[in-house]
Amino acid sequence: MTSRLSPENSSLEQAAAPTRVAAGATLGVMGGGQLGRMFVHAAQQMGYFTAVLDPDAASPAGRVAHFHIESDYLGEAGLAQLAQLCDAITTEFENVPATALATLAARCVVAPGAASVAVCQDRALEKAHFARCGVPCAPYAVIDAAANLATLPPNLLPGILKSARMGYDGKGQARVASIDELDAAWAAMHRVPCVLEALLPLAYEASVVVARGADGEMVHLPVQQNLHRDGILAVTQVPPPDLDAALQQRAIDAARHIAAGLEHVGVLCVEYFVLKDGRLLANEMAPRPHNSAHYSIDACDLSQFDLQVRTLVGAPLVEPRLHSAAVMLNLLGDLWFAHGEGPEEPRWHEVLALPGAHLHLYNKLTPRRGRKMGHLTVTAAEPGAARSVALKAAAMLGIEAF
């Protein structure tokens, strides 16, 4: 671990730190993946030192931060070291234990807080929060006992069974069409608490990233139109080609209500289903930057990671401006195996010859099928031009057209 520790970084001073954290302080992040890596880059650009807590010695964020604490997220020694080093701490993914955030909050500024993250970690709590905020979601039922199956409303089948906790990118999910299929799928998930959602006629998927400060001030990125394949985000387009202005405003307003209801401090992404009849339904939320807003690094004057830093340190929040149309392609490890057993380096040289192509690779050492290895953002003055170039890039890389 790189070392930089000064006498004035005592835990007492951090616990009493004001909301505003000045440049030159150390910011910590729980989690060492690509989201943490991009947060570290944004924080360093603003003059902060950075520390990452992650058990992986080769984590993408840990390898670019000033400090890398190799520790489990609940390791007492690791948490104590992170709290001693840092003036403020955030998280890069929602499955960091909320109890770890609560432990850290006793010694320094932590955003988002444990209470907000705990809601986002549990699909049942999440949906109940949507209801409290007056934001509609798909019809659902909590499945946590065998008796639930006997009283299940018939309109929930066919449906999607989702584990209440620890699910992401399509993991911990199963489509079911009957009670027998539901019981078998629940058994395959070891009968952990789950949520069953009705399968609805989906037209589009969308998301909104909002940033909320400790003072309640809030800004948002543009609405993003998304395409998922096998439960993993594949393509994001901004501006959204198929969503009208009124629907976009509803999505923004709902996301702001959800963030305010949580008293969330930090960046929050709300994902939506847009049904064929025009209804907008909240799907899920993430208390952190989101894959669908990575385009903001290249297409906006403030990225989602800039906003994450600003909410953490109490800096002013300014509404981001979209200066370029953008199409973002998620780059999975499958691309390295496109021409055989592989792995073989994809055709980056040809892709980078395209106008407006911005390649972001996460420095993950081993490509694997389904693993997020990077993203490609194509920017242009007009949406049609960005889409055209992105389709060319997709063809070069062997990515399915959209």
Question: Residue range 385-395: average pLDDT?
Answer: 98
pTM over 0.85: yes
pLDDT of the residue at 340: 72
pLDDT over threshold 60, residue 317: yes
CA–CA distance, 300 with 60 (Å, rounded to integer): 24
pLDDT of the residue at 167: 65
Residue 93: pLDDT band with limits 50, 70, 90 = confident
Per-residue pLDDT tens for 19-77? 799 999 999 999 999 999 999 999 999 999 999 999 999 999 999 999 999 999 999 99
At a CB cut-off of 8 Å and minimum separation 6, what does 224 contact?
206, 207, 208, 209, 236, 237, 238, 240, 292, 293, 295
Which candidate, 97, 109, 87, places its Cα nearest to that of 55? 97
pLDDT of the residue at 377: 98
pLDDT over threshold 80, residue 286: yes
Backbone angles phi, psi at 197, to 5 degrees: -110, 140
CA–CA distance, 374 with 379 (Å, rounded to integer): 16
Domains and CATH numbers, the chain: 11-110 (3.40.50.20), 139-198 (3.30.1490.20), 202-397 (3.30.470.20)
| Peptide bond just before 239 cis, omega within 30 deg | yes
Contacts 24+ apart (CB under 8 A), 355-364: 355/380, 355/389, 356/324, 356/380, 356/385, 356/386, 356/389, 357/389, 357/393, 358/297, 358/298, 360/294, 360/297, 361/331, 362/33, 362/34, 362/37, 362/60, 363/37, 363/60, 363/63, 364/34, 364/60
